[in-house]
Amino acid sequence: MLIGLIFAPACHACRLPVRCYRVDTNIISFVKKNMNKISHTPDFKGIFSDKRLDNRGNLIGSLLISSRSSSIKGITNNEADQKGFYRFLENKQVDELNLINELTQRCRLNVKDRNVIAIQDTSSIGLSKHSNRLKPNSGIGLVGNKVGVGFLSHCSLVIDADEGTMLGFSDVHLWHREEYKSNNTTKAYKNQPIEDKESFRWIQAGQNSKKILESARSITIIEDREGDIYEQFCVIPNDKTHLLIRSRDNRKLADGSRLYDTLALEPLTGTYTIKVDSDKRKKKESRIATIEVRYKKVLIQKPSGKISKKLPNQLELYAVEAKEINGPKKDAIKWRLLTTHPVTTFEEAIAVITNYRQRWYIEQVFRLLKKQGFKIEESELTSGWAIRKLTILLLSNVLRVMQLLLAYGNEESQPIKEVFSSEEIICLRVLANKMEQKKTQVQNNYSKDKLSWASWVIARIGGWKGYTKQRPPGPITMKRGLDKFDLIYQGWILAKQIEKDVSTR
């Protein structure tokens, strides 16, 4: 039985006489006229105390989306616009909390009556290469223990658990370290209350997400090992909110035994197979892995340390183990998952494992923000606060790429009109006719009103060959495809404008 997701993680030059036209001018004009028609752009109306800032925010957000770029210089038409955008990002009235609130409120509107998962993770934004250019005391600091300059970002990405639809971000938290953090193995760190530890961000993100997602039918918060915090299991779950976290420690159980030892003694409940893709960078070959599954209801003992006396001394959770057999010694899959979801059957254990595997998507969010995507770490802005605000604005761009990634191969994906404007869809349909090759079975068999159809076209533009036996397109391919489509679409709009002008002469 094959269970779960398999991850991997054309433009013709215009020959019309265009020397009297400027592409940027036409695109900016188009954006201003059609701002409300562009899908998934920020809406800052009423967010700031100044309507001019609201309008400037809407324009910069729309231009970032339409250009798929992180360069203010690259998306502006003239020096005046460029300086205006710089002033917007450096304006103290443009607080990053306002930008985060606008982003998460859009997510709130999408989750009513849905079963959702919120995937949390942290990543550092390294700015060491440009540290000599950055203004001091401007929102940057240490990002590692004794090394690195920049800031950190903790995001919660929300996905519809049933439909596989990307819904937005339920929480974003940015911060920087002003001094070296205590090592989590030291006695001083262990004796700190959770509220004083940097790891409290996991609990804060969960609490904030619960508020944003309160209209959802059910919520499952998914985290990696850093989120394995006893206090979190005590305060976050409720009747409709669950946790699913990879275990970090061989926790002590109420009967004196240890979690990993107890799981290993449980009888095998079943196996499944999964394709593990190759990784040329790490010299790993693809393989079909056979995974053994065990699960058990456990009673976790409250750990020693400075933990509130108000919290219970024991917690009832469900533990699931997914262990690869006969795999490579170094990279064999071995997950021990803790969850508040009841796990009483092999099928329920598989559902937990499959949901946890979607944590891969939050890793791709940060990958797209950084080196191979929007390259936020190469920003030449001189203020760390400005780079932080630009990072928040770029999350809308990342979301669009992730929507396409999640839609690929999903025949029941969201409607295409929720992501692309009507003009963009017409342009995509023209391109799609040139992308299909019936003789070689390179065909887009998805419905044209679904986002999966558009993701196939965008992937082809990004360099994916379209063969069914080929590895599915990854996030960087989708990003590359969107970048190229943007250039094609700019030419499309320009050609239509020229045709209109010529016909009226």
Helix 360-369 and helix 384-407, axial crossing angle in degrees, nearest 10: 130
- Compute the average pLDDT of residues 222-230: 96
The pLDDT value recorded for residue 353 is 96
Encode pLDDT of 115-139 as tens digits: 999 999 999 999 988 778 888 888 8
Token pair listed for 24: 């940027």
397 close to 440: Cβ distance less than 8 angstroms? no
> What CA–CA distances, in Å, run from 53 to 13, 46, 62, 112?
37, 10, 14, 30
The pLDDT value recorded for residue 1 is 27
The pLDDT value recorded for residue 173 is 96
H or E, element range at 62 = helix 51-67
Residue 46 has pLDDT above 80, yes or no: yes
DSSP string, 57-95: HHHHHHHHHHHT---HHHH-SSHHHHHHHHHHHH-TTS-
The pLDDT value recorded for residue 81 is 74
Higher pLDDT, 291 or 278: 291
The pLDDT value recorded for residue 390 is 92
- Compute the average pLDDT of residues 141-152: 80
The pLDDT value recorded for residue 74 is 66
Cα 365–chain centre separation: 3
Residue 35 has pLDDT above 80, yes or no: no
Higher pLDDT, 468 or 457: 457
Token pair listed for 466: 């379209």
Residue 292 has pLDDT above 90, yes or no: yes
Distance (Å, rounded) from C-alpha 98 to C-alpha 203? 21
β partners of residue 319: 296, 338
Encode pLDDT of 320-330 as tens digits: 999 999 888 78
Residue 4 has pLDDT above 70, yes or no: no
The pLDDT value recorded for residue 11 is 30
β partners of residue 117: 159, 220
409 close to 452: Cβ distance less than 8 angstroms? yes
Which residue from 140, 168, 166 is spatially nearest to 153, judged by alpha carbons? 140
* Residues contacting residue 206 through CB under 8 Å, at least 6 positions apart: 120, 221, 232, 236, 243
From the number of C-beta atoms within 10 Å of its C-beta (0-12, 13-18, 19+), residue 495 rates as middle
Residue at 19: amino acid letter: R
225 close to 247: Cβ distance less than 8 angstroms? yes
Cα 270–chain centre separation: 32
Classify the phi-psi angles of 42: left when phi > 0, otherwise alpha if psi is within -120 to 50, otherwise beta: beta
Q: Are strands 314-325 and 166-175 parallel, antiparallel or unpaired?
A: unpaired
Domains along the chain? 23-94 (1.10.246), 408-505 (1.10.740)
Q: Are strands 115-126 and 218-223 parallel, antiparallel or unpaired?
A: parallel
474 close to 363: Cβ distance less than 8 angstroms? no
Residue 70 has pLDDT above 70, yes or no: no
Q: What value does the mean pLDDT of the chain take?
A: 83
Encode pLDDT of 375-425 as tens digits: 899 888 889 999 999 999 999 888 888 888 888 888 778 888 878 888 889
Return the minimum-mean-pLDDT range out of 189-203, 237-251, 375-389: 189-203
- Compute the average pLDDT of residues 28-45: 52
